[in-house]
Copies of this chain bind each other. A is one copy, B any other.
Amino acid sequence: MNLKKIGVINSPYKTRAKAPFQGRHSSEICEVEIFEDFLPGLADVEGCTHLILLYWLDRADRSMLKAFPPHDGKEHGVFATRSPNRPNPIGVGVVELLAVEGERLKVRGLDALDDSPLIDIKPYFPEVDSTSNATVGWRK
C-alpha cells in the first residue's frame, strides 16, 4: 500500500508547537496545490462547500502506540486519540472551501503543518460524514 503525493499543503504552521490542536478552531487560510498529473480530478470540486482532506503527517513518529492527549493529560492508546504519532500518520481535515484558483484550493479550518503531502480530497456530505446526536463523543 504505497501512497502517491497528489499535491502539497501550504499552511502558516511551520512547526507543531505553532499549530492549533485542531484546525477547526483556526480561522487561518491554507492553500492546497494539486500537482499537474492529478488536475483532471479537480473538475467540479468548486461545487462543494466543504471538503475532507487527507494528508500525510510527515513529521510524525510511526512507532508510537500510546499518547497523552491535551484534554486530560493521561496515557491512552493512540487509536483513542487524535495524536499525529500513530502507525499510519494520515490527517483527516474537514475544511471550508473558499476558492478554487487553477491548481490551488483556498481552504479554512486546517491544522496541517506547512509542506505536508496531500493524499486525497473528498466532498464532505453531512448526511454521510456527521453524526449530530447529543450522545456522541466520550461515553459518560
Within 8 A of B (CB), among A125-140: 125-133, 135-139
A88-B3 in contact (CB<8A): yes
**Chain B nearest CB: distance from A101 CB in Å?**
15
Within 8 A of B (CB), among A81-140: 81-82, 86-88, 90, 92, 94, 96, 117, 119-133, 135-139
Residue among A49, A88, A130 with max Cβ neighbours from chain B (10 Å)? A88
Report copies per complex: 2
Q: Using known A-B contacts A66-B41, A77-B44, A122-B79, determine if residue A49 contacts B87 with beta carbons closer than 8 Å.
A: no
Inter-chain CA distance A2–B123, complex, in Å, is 25
Within 8 A of B (CB), among A14-64: 22, 24, 34, 38, 40-50, 52, 54, 56, 62
Closest to A5 in B: B1
* Chain B residues within 8 Å of A90, by CB: 54, 90, 119-120
A124-B131 in contact (CB<8A): yes
Q: Could you write out 11 A-B pairs with CB less than 8 Å apart?
A: A1-B56, A2-B2, A6-B87, A34-B79, A40-B77, A41-B87, A48-B137, A52-B92, A54-B90, A126-B133, A126-B136
